[in-house]
């Protein structure tokens, strides 16, 4: 069997869909003990003050600073203002929050329509939907926007496969604004739903596009209007090629566990919802110690390949912010760690993480959620990108902005 062949794991048509609409499905699923336990745990994490993802509970200072990265600030603000012009007062109240609102952290990547805030794209007009997507389009590179749209298309592909196109649809996503769109002041937007989460903070011509979640089950369409679409191949092949370039000593240091389920996997490392991800929904304050092989223990060619692999995950940024982000990553490259869980054969599923003081990237082959594979398979991929040490959602930059504004006001 081809490692990307999902067809043996198709459920009975409609078997995993609990209602005819997204709302009905969510209502039924949220009544189950497992879902109640998960969302209850998330509520507790949400109640914690934001600190940011760290390696030991202590946030490193002076890693980020306000600057002009050449972000298309005016175009993004104009697109957001055009969206707001189409909304009535009730719609605005439902989807717009202060820039420093904790609602930034109220996202999750399941299909469950559990959050009642934001614009729900499937429930808006085509004009409003187009205006929302235009905000995304002008905020990202063409590659990033295409990836977002293709994740949405594969979500509908999964809905058609499983008999739930109204639960798993192309437009089953929520959009929010934070602050007032501006070409100079702080503000941002959020887009979230199944397999796609984007948090975009802007401060003048600087932007932060994390936390970001990209995934698909399956990650390829073999029929229908999007036949031939196959996502995350570069991220998968790049990680495996890097592992194959390591010698025995380097691989031994990089590998955390050879098994993705049980075996030598550390107890408690696997989570029923996140699988091997550590930086998923509501994990804003998670402590994740460094593991694996440091970049300074790699050859020059391996360091180049690791940097290239990291760049694949920030290619969604526009040119200026992407270059600035790469400079930031390179500045801390000697502190960058690469770790691995799983096999290294061409057909083996695996997990890897790239982690430094300024970047946190995870790639994970997932077990089935709507498909029936009990173990991870290469046709189900989740990826996560975060900015550790307090700058997810641009929060550290916003704090500095407020301190600077207070200083000048006092003077």
Distance CA 31, CA 194 (A): 19
Preceding peptide of 366 cis, ω within 30°: no
Give the separation between CA 129 and CA 194, rounded to whole angstroms.
17
Please tell me the predicted confidence (pLDDT) of residue 81: 98
Q: In the prediction, which pLDDT does 410 show?
A: 44
pLDDT in tens, 237-288: 999 999 999 999 999 999 999 999 999 999 999 999 999 999 999 999 999 9
Q: Give me the pLDDT at residue 111, please.
A: 98
Domain end (from 196, 224, 256): 196
Reduced to 3 states (helix: H, G, I; strand: E, B; else coil), residue 197 is strand
Percent of the chain with pLDDT over 90: 98
Which tokens sit at 388?
């550790």
- The vertex-124 CA angle with 123 and 126, nearest 5°, equals 125
Please report whether residue 91 resides in a domain: yes
328 pLDDT more than 60: yes
- Specify the pLDDT at position 249: 98
d(CA 52, CA 54): 6
Together in a domain, 27 and 146: yes
Does residue 256 share a domain with residue 158? Answer: no
Burial class (CB in 10 A: 0-12, 13-18, 19+), 125: exposed
Q: How many residues does the chain have?
A: 411
Q: What's the mean pLDDT in 303-327?
A: 98
Question: Is the pLDDT confidence value at 63 over 60?
Answer: yes
Give the pLDDT confidence score for residue 411 in this predicted structure.
Answer: 41
371-395 tens-digit pLDDT: 999 999 999 999 999 999 999 999 9
How many C-beta atoms surround the C-beta of residue 407 within 10 A? 9
What does pLDDT average to over the chain?
97
If phi over 0 gives left and psi between -120 and 50 gives alpha, with beta otherwise, what is residue 221?
beta
Q: Where are the alpha helices (DSSP H) in 163-208?
A: none
- Report yes or no on 271 lying in a domain: yes
- Indicate whether 139 and 271 sit together in one domain: no
pLDDT in tens, 1-22: 699 999 999 999 999 999 999 9
pLDDT of residue 406: 63
| Distance separating alpha carbons of residues 195 and 173, to the nearest angstrom | 10
Average confidence (pLDDT) over 302-330:
98
Q: What is the mean pLDDT of residues 54-67?
A: 97
Vertex 110 angle, CA 109 and 116, to 5°: 85
Whether cis (ω within 30° of 0) applies to the bond prior to 218 is: yes
Instruction: Characterize 167-195 residue by residue with b for buried, 16 or more Cβ atoms within 10 angstroms of its Cβ, and e for exposed.
Output: bbbbbbbbbbbbbebbbebbbbbbbbbbb
- Please indicate, yes or no, if residue 361 is contained in any of the structural domains: yes
- Let me know if residue 205 belongs to a domain: no
Is pLDDT above 70 for 407? no
Q: Are residues 137 and 248 in the same domain?
A: no
**SS3 for 290?**
coil
241 and 169 co-located in one domain: no
Count CA atoms closer than 13 A to 25's CA, side-chain side: 21
pLDDT at 334 over 60: yes
In a domain, 3, yes or no: no
Confidence of residue 331 (pLDDT cuts 50, 70, 90): very high
Name residues whose C-beta falls within 8 Å of residue 354's C-beta, 6 or more positions apart in sequence: 306, 309, 310, 313, 336, 337, 338, 360, 361
Same domain, 36 and 173: yes
| Same domain as 160, residue 36 | yes
For residues 300 and 303, give the distance between their C-alpha atoms in angstroms, rounded to a whole number: 5
The number of domains in the chain is 2
What is the dihedral sign for C-alpha 106, 108, 114, 118? positive
The alpha carbon torsion through 259, 289, 54, 353 (nearest 10 deg) reads -40
Judgement on whether residues 244 and 125 belong to the same structural domain of the protein: no
Q: From CA 208, how far away is CA 199, in angstroms rounded?
A: 8
Of 171, 170, 140, 165, the C-alpha closest to 72 is 140
Evaluate whether residue 401 is within a structural domain: no
Residue carrying the six token digits 């982000």 = 325
pTM, to two decimals:
0.97
Residues 294 and 357 in one domain: yes
261-266: long-range contacts (C-beta < 8 A, 24 or more apart)?
261/367, 261/375, 261/376, 265/341
Q: Domain range for residue 96?
A: 9-53+63-196
Is residue 221 within 8 Å of 227, Cβ to Cβ? yes
- Could you tell me the pLDDT band of residue 404, with boundaries at 50, 70 and 90? confident
Q: What is the mean pLDDT of residues 158-186?
A: 97
Per-residue pLDDT of 197-234, as tens digits, reads: 999 999 999 999 999 999 999 999 999 999 999 999 99
Give the chain's largest Cα–Cα span.
Answer: 70
C-beta separation of 209 from 317 below 8 A: yes
Tokens 């092989």, residue located? 293
How far, in Å, CA of 265 to CA of 256, rounded?
Answer: 8
Helices 233-245 and 300-313, packing angle to 10 deg: 160
Same-domain pairing of 257 and 378:
yes
Whether residue 203 lies inside any domain: the answer is no
- Asked if residue 294 belongs to a domain, the reply is yes
| CA-closest candidate to residue 84, choices 161, 181, 173 | 181
Alpha-carbon torsion (144, 98, 193, 353), positive or negative: positive
In terms of domains, do 105 and 187 share one? yes
Residue 353: pLDDT above 90?
yes
Shared-domain flag, residues 151 and 239? no
């Amino acid at each position: 069997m081809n490692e990307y062949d999902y067809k043996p794991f198709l459920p009975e048509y409609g078997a995993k869909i609990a209602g005819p609409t997204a709302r009905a499905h969510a209502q039924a699923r949220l009544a189950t003990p497992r879902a109640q336990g998960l969302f209850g745990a998330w509520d507790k994490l949400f109640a914690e003050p934001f600190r940011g993802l760290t390696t030991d509970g202590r946030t490193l200072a002076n890693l980020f600073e306000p600057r002009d990265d050449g972000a298309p600030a005016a175009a993004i603000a104009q697109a957001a203002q055009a969206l707001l012009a189409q909304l009535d007062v009730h719609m605005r109240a439902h989807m717009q929050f202060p820039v420093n609102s904790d609602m930034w952290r109220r996202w999750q990547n399941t299909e469950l329509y559990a959050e009642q805030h934001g614009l729900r794209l499937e429930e808006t007009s085509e004009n409003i939907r187009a205006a929302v997507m235009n905000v995304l389009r002008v905020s990202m590179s063409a590659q990033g926007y295409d990836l977002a749209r293709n994740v949405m298309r594969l979500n509908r592909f999964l809905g058609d496969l499983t008999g739930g196109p109204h639960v798993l649809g192309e437009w089953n996503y929520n959009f929010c604004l934070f602050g007032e769109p501006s070409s100079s002041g702080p503000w941002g937007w959020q887009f979230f739903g199944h397999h796609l989460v984007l948090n975009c903070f802007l401060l003048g011509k600087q932007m932060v596009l994390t936390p970001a979640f990209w995934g698909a089950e399956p990650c390829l369409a073999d029929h229908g209007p999007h036949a031939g679409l196959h996502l995350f191949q570069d991220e998968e092949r790049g990680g495996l090629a890097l592992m194959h370039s390591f010698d025995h000593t380097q691989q031994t240091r990089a590998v955390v566990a050879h098994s993705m389920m049980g075996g030598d996997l550390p107890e408690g490392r696997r989570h029923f919802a996140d699988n091997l991800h550590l930086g998923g929904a509501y994990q804003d304050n998670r402590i994740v110690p460094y593991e694996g092989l440091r970049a300074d223990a790699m050859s020059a060619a391996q360091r180049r390949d690791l940097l290239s692999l990291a760049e694949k995950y920030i290619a969604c940024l526009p040119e200026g912010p992407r270059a600035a982000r790469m400079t930031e990553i390179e500045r801390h490259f000697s502190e960058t760690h690469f770790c691995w869980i799983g096999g290294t054969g061409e057909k083996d599923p695996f997990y890897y993480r790239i982690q430094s003081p300024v970047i946190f990237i995870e790639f994970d082959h997932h077990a089935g959620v709507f498909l029936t594979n009990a173990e991870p398979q290469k046709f189900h991929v989740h990826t996560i990108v975060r900015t550790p040490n307090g700058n997810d959602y641009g929060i550290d930059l916003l704090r500095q902005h407020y301190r600077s504004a207070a200083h000048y006001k006092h003077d």
